[in-house]
Amino acid sequence: MGLKSFLSRPLAAYTVRQYQQWTPRPELAQQRILQELLQRGRATAFGRDHQLGAARNVREFQQRVPVRDYEALSPYFERVKQGEGSVLWPGKPLYLAKTSGTTSGTKYIPITKDSISNHINGAKDALLHYVHYSGKPQFLDGRLMFLSGSPELEEVGGIKTGRLSGISNHHVPAYLRRNQLPSYATNIIEDWEQKLDRVVDETLDQRMTLISGIPPWVQMYFDRITQRTGRPVGEVFPAFQLFVYGGVNFEPYRRKLFESIGRAVDTVELFPASEGFFAFQDQPDNPGLLLLADAGIYYEFIPAEQFFEPNPPRLTLAEVELDRNYALVVSSNAGLWGYSVGDTVRFVSLRPHRVVVSGRIKHFLSAFGEHVIGEEVEQTLREALQQFPEAEVVEFTVAPRVSEAGAEPSRHEWLVEFAQPPRDAAAFAAALDAGLRRRNVYYDDLLAGNILAPLLLTPLPAGAFQRYMRSQGKLGGQNKVPRLSNDRKLADGLLGI
């Protein structure tokens, strides 16, 4: 055992004890954080506009601060971008995290002196929890690969600006930086495929122990490794122990990734976003993600089915229930106030409060009134793949096909890129339909009433999703393919590639 792995054990134990001080009563931490936010935010432009200084409790806060998304708050974000101070939070942000979100165009999310620790400590503490509960710190002695965006930053309004993963790269602890790959010179390459080849060059002869990134882009890296060597990743990197991921549901990618590795490795799931580091998998054998209730973020939860109502309920952490989908709303020491993140979560345990990410509130398919969500189609696909073990899926998305006069009936279209197609495509499509009908009563009613026809399964040629993402300037990095669309834009783009 090396020095780093040896020293990590007492640090991990200390970190877990610190978490255990607030996890039994996270609502107390949340009450304290809200009061701190109101105290710090009242002298800002936003605070004056919304009379934050007069808000004494959560209900008075909710009366003054409506739920809004990035577009609705954009006048304040624009003032921050222009270099104005104390707009949303005292002073100026340290950084602006630039992201081409899946629910809007380019966004510039402030990261302040107070909020940067949330991003850095969230990732660090996730690894320390893994060390503590698994008893396997050896990965810290090998090479750690973070497949991320460029760390090169520009300036907007006098504020350093870049991708969140690139910003975070500047804050990797010094004791890990010597282990880190890829190199800075490789990381700043903008062309994703050129960058990927350089990453392979730099890692191929290294003792890789941890690999981290968004699953579809890590899969591309694994494919390049196998193409170059003719061997599975687990043989090329025999010390590879831990895969850390976040950003998308892992399940649709799990089988192909592990087949590429050729053996089992441990995994840790994270829930990071430009708006904050919200949760991580704190125990290796528990798929739920511990919600970080003591990290400068105040959470509210809107029942997903009520989100688009004029005045939906805004629940506190003390009011949530198990197994119900909620839209996530945050206020934080980054200067976000009543901010709709766009993600939906479902609590799988209370005390400690653990969630799974169930989808995006704006990523749903309800062209016919069915309101299908991402979690439903992902679970349906996973079930179908279990029934057809020969099939392998690279990527997929679902869109509506609305009937026109004299044309084919209305239905859902599943656009799927297979690495290996099912032996019986019609039976596979029928399994998808059956699975979705079990999970969504509205979809079941529409098919039973012959309002919708059974779904259309459209196999796409190899590389279709990569070519489409490249055409949109979104290949690699932190970009994700929406699972569901309520229109045909993505589907028609894929079919036109």
Pairwise CA distance, residues 90 & 207, whole Å: 45
Q: Which two tokens stand for residue 406?
A: 């004299």
Pairing relationship of beta strands 106-111 and 143-146 according to DSSP bridges: unpaired
CB 368 within 8 A of CB 400: yes
CB 314 within 8 A of CB 383: no
CA R_g for the chain:
23
Nearest to 8 by CA among 114, 101, 113, 133: 133
Give the global pTM. 0.82
Pairwise CA distance, residues 317 & 5, whole Å: 36
C-alpha dihedral (408, 409, 412, 417), degrees to nearest 10: -20
Residue linked to tokens 């009450």: 31
Pairwise CA distance, residues 391 & 238, whole Å: 27
Question: What's the pLDDT at 236?
Answer: 97
Question: What's the pLDDT at 102?
Answer: 45
C-alpha dihedral (51, 53, 57, 60), degrees to nearest 10: -10
**Long-range pairs for 419-427 at CB < 8 Å and ≥24 separation?**
419/256, 419/392, 419/393, 419/394, 419/462, 420/390, 420/391, 420/392, 421/391, 421/459, 422/388, 422/390, 422/391, 423/388, 423/390, 423/391, 424/388, 425/457, 425/459, 427/388
Pairwise CA distance, residues 47 & 51, whole Å: 6
Nearest to 100 by CA among 496, 485, 447, 478: 478
Question: In sequence order, what are the beta bridge partners of 267?
Answer: 243
Question: In sequence order, what are the beta bridge partners of 268?
Answer: 244
Where helices occur in 147-305 by DSSP H, the ranges are 164-169, 174-177, 184-187, 192-203, 215-229, 233-236, 251-261
Nearest to 329 by CA among 319, 316, 320, 318: 316
Question: What's the pLDDT at 103?
Answer: 44
Q: Which two tokens stand for residue 197?
A: 């080849």
Bond prior to 24 in cis (omega within 30° of 0): no
What is the mean pLDDT, run by run of 10 residues, along the chain of 497 residues? Answer: 86 97 97 98 97 96 97 96 97 91 72 96 95 96 89 93 88 80 90 90 96 88 95 97 87 86 96 95 94 98 90 96 95 98 94 91 79 87 94 93 75 95 96 94 87 93 89 72 85 88
CB 289 within 8 A of CB 347: no
Give Cβ neighbours of residue 407 (< 8 Å, ≥ 6 apart).
none
* Beta strand segments in 87-142, E: 95-100, 106-111
Nearest to 122 by CA among 161, 81, 171, 166: 171
